[in-house]
Chains A and B, each alone.
Chain A
Amino acid sequence: MSAVIKESAQADQPLVSLRNLNKYYGDFAAVDNISLDIKEGEFLTFLGSSGSGKSTTLSMLAGFETPTSGEIQVEGKSLIKVPPHKRDIGMVFQRYSLFPHLSVRDNIAFPLTLRKLQTAERERQVDAMLKLVQLDDFAHRRPAQLSGGQQQRVAIARALVYEPRILLMDEPLGALDKKLREELQDELRHLHRRLGITIVYVTHDQEEAMRLSQRIAIFSHGKIVGLGSGYDLYQNPPNAFVAAFLGNSNFLRVKAQGDAAAQFESQSLAMRPTAGLQAAQDLLLMVRPEKAQALTSQQAMQEPLAAGWNEIGATVNEVVFLGESLTYNVVTAGGTSLTVKALSGNLLPLQAGAEVRVRWAAADACVYSEWSESDLSKTAGAH
């Protein structure tokens, strides 16, 4: 009986846990009271704009920065007093940071040499790594003779060769062009699945974060403002900042009318039932552009409004054709600007100046009762 409890407790225990972590530079809080658990074997991404504290947090994990206060634990043991070279963490740096005077093989062998492995064993492991990253043919080249993608593979091999339990990656693909980046992202995902290693990845590219990670931690002003799977964070952003930061979003300023309805520009809208609202309280509704539909007046008459849906009138301001999709920029009578995204299909696009009815399901709109105006702009997040 007690054994069962103990076992389940162990399974719940995170591999890495950050507790009330702070990093101050003078009065400036680069990392502001962060607490986070990282599970064994997961691919977790720190996503945020530059200066949001994501890299500083990674640096503290690696041991290059000392936290001003707070605790970092791996399997319940504190890492604070462990110098970086004894943490047994792997890390891949932004600019690869290969040793320029060593060949590819010697770069990968470097951590093993430090660990005083026997030559035969070392060679075997290096060979295995070279094979894993498909660089067998380049073993004797110097880093300067490799392409960016190859250099990054060497950096990954060097970080993995001593089998660390945690691999940190600091914007490792930032310097590569888009196509190569996507290729390496796929490779990285497969590698993670194959090796089962815990990866903490830092990036400012949300598409990359979505593509790679099981969980994403969104950083802003030194805090984690959103944590969850890419799907959850996108579909149900925990706050207006995350909603604005991830993908595109429409914000409607409304006033609460009970807990499932709100008033928008002298019109009543249905919304998700939300507890604890006061009458006439200011609220923010967020609708993703692809969840909204734009219909002509005739279409609207032909298709009656389904239950649980909202409809508002607007005028088309601009139509942008993007290949597989179309976006309409429309403006309501009250001057609120909205974006509606539709698959191009075989419908004739609406013309600028046309009157449209914009519809969305009340369940698809998120409701926020607290936000700051700066959250709503795309560029927020950095100090």
Chain B
Amino acid sequence: MTTAQSSQSTHVAGAAPRAAGMASSSTAQRWRGFSNLLPALLFLGLFFLAPLIGLLMRGVLEPSLGLGNYEQLFANSAYTRVLLNTFSVAGLVTVISLLLGFPLAWAITLVPRGWGRWLLNIVLLSMWTSLLARTYSWLVLLQASGVINKTLMAMGIIDQPLEMVHNLTGVVIGMSYIMIPFIVLPLQATMQAIDPMVLQAGAICGASPWRNFFRVFLPLCRPGLFSGGLMVFVMSLGYYVTPALLGGAQNMMLPEFIIQQVQSFLNWGIASAAAALLIGITLVLLYFYLKLQPESPVGASNAR
């Protein structure tokens, strides 16, 4: 506002030749406040966009111009194994965290406010607690001599310790654990917005609790389930820390694969192709996620 005014006052001397100042004032009006954007824009352009584009270019430029890296990615059985691992783990993690997140979100909506707040705090605590610390904890819990194996053996359920780390089992357990909050928060918001009277109406219309659950409640929760599930799936595809620590060397996922190619083999071409694939899938899924947003009553604005 002040810039527009000062620009006008410098251009306009008297009352009559005001038209001269109008054009420049309207351009100033149009781009008002844009200059405030420049520092961050410059920063992101220089340190985020340029390197990102640079990285993606290497997939078609190195070692030679062409789509060779992409062909390799789908032709080499070791590489397709990585892709398969990535998608199956992400899918499994999404299903498990949905199954565990649903009752939690439901209970938070249901119980008296004080209790609900405590449950929500537990979810938030788990979400904001260091990822590395929690993964380390699972590593210790799940190891052959760990508490879980010992307990199960003491109870006589198993004779030999289960192998739960350094394989995909460990990855799925650790990641599902980490993803639960990202299901609970959007889903709980969706449930909170449902009018309990609708369910009462369902019951009065003669629906049994089961029918009411499947025909009324679940469909009403669908926006939250979809947006939470999609978010978790996308995040699972790109997770590095948990799979790297809980997984085994022979069961790699895409993010580990990228790092390994860059750090150990200096094969930037194939790493770039894998990165492009990951970004592509992420953006496509995100597009669907955003498409779903308007239909959800509250959205997953609190999912991070």
Which A residues are within 8 Å of any B CB, using their own CB? 63-64, 66, 68-69, 71, 78, 80-81, 83
Q: Is the CB of B15 within 8 A of A78?
A: yes
On chain A, the residues within 8 Å of B18 by CB distance are 68-69
- If over half of B's interface residues share one DSSP class (helix, strand or loop), that class is named, otherwise mixed; here it is helix
In angstroms, Cα B9 to Cα A40, docked, is 28
- In the complex, chain A residues whose CB is within 8 Å of the CB of B9: 80-81
**B15 adjacent to A68 (CB under 8 Å):** no
Known: A63-B5, A80-B12, A83-B5. 15 other contacts (CB 8 A): A64-B1, A66-B4, A66-B5, A66-B8, A66-B25, A68-B18, A69-B18, A69-B19, A71-B15, A78-B15, A80-B9, A80-B15, A81-B9, A81-B12, A83-B6
In the complex, chain B residues 24-52 whose Cβ is within 8 Å of any chain A Cβ: 25
Q: For the complex, give the distance between the alpha carbons of A80 and B12 in Å.
A: 10
Is chain A's interface secondary structure helix, strand, loop, or mixed overall? loop
- Which residues of chain A are near B22, meaning CB under 8 Å? 68
CB-CB nearest in chain A for B2: A83
Number of B interface residues in the complex (CB < 8 A): 13
CB distance from A31 to the nearest CB of B (A): 15
Contacts across chains A and B counted by CB atoms under 8 Å: 20
Contacts of A63 in B (CB 8 A): 5
Min C-beta distance of A280 to chain B, whole Å:
46
CA A69 to CA B12, docked complex, whole Å: 11
In Å, the complex CA distance between A66 and B18 comes to 12
Query: Looking at B2, B6, B8, B18, which has the most chain A CB atoms within 10 Å of its CB?
Result: B18
Closest to B7 in A: A66
Question: Considering residues B1, B4, B5, B9, which has the most beta carbons from chain A within 10 angstroms of its beta carbon?
Answer: B5
CA distance A68 to B4 in the complex (A): 12
Q: How far is the CB of B5 from chain A (nearest CB, A)?
A: 6
Q: Bound state CA distance, A78 and B2, in angstroms?
A: 18
Q: Name the distance in Å between B10's Cβ and chain A's nearest Cβ.
A: 9
- Bound CA–CA A64/B22 (angstroms): 17
**Smallest CB–CB gap between B279 and chain A, Å?**
39
Q: Which 10 A-B pairs have the closest CB atoms?
A: A81-B9, A69-B18, A71-B15, A66-B5, A66-B8, A83-B5, A66-B4, A83-B2, A64-B1, A68-B22
Q: How far does the alpha carbon of A68 sit from the alpha carbon of B5 in the complex, in Å?
A: 11
* Contacting residues, chain A, for B8 (C-beta < 8 A): 66
Residues of chain B within 8 A (CB-CB) of A78 are 15
**What CA separation (Å) do A80 and B15 show in the bound complex?**
9
Chain B contacts of A83 at CB under 8 A?
2, 5-6
Query: What residues of B have a CB within 8 angstroms of the CB of A64 in the complex?
Result: 1
Question: Could you list 10 A-B pairs, sorted by A, with CB under 8 Å?
Answer: A63-B5, A64-B1, A66-B5, A68-B22, A69-B19, A78-B15, A80-B12, A80-B15, A81-B12, A83-B5
Which B residues touch A81, using CB under 8 A?
Answer: 9, 12
- What residues of chain A lie closer than 8 Å to B2, measured between beta carbons? 83
Tell me the smallest distance from the CB of B21 to a CB of chain A, in Å.
10
Q: What is the minimal beta-carbon distance from B22 to any residue of chain A, in angstroms?
A: 7
Alpha-carbon gap, A68 to B22, bound state (A):
7
Q: Which B residue's beta carbon lies closest to that of A26? A: B26
Shortest Cβ distance from residue B31 to the other chain A in the assembled complex, whole angstroms:
16
Which residues of the other chain, A, contact B12 by a CB distance below 8 angstroms?
Answer: 80-81
A80 to B22, CA, bound (A): 14
Q: In the complex, A64→B12 CA distance in Å? A: 18
Scoring A66, A69, A78 by chain B CB atoms within 10 A of each residue's CB, the highest score goes to A66
Chain A nearest CB: distance from B26 CB in Å?
Answer: 9
In Å, the complex CA distance between A64 and B6 comes to 13
Across-interface contacts of A80 in B (CB, < 8 A): 9, 12, 15
Closest A residue, CB atoms, query B13 = A81
User: In the complex, A64 Cα to B4 Cα: how many Å?
Assistant: 11
Chain A's closest residue to B14 (CB) is A78
Rounded to whole angstroms, the CA-CA distance of A64 and B2 in the bound complex is 9
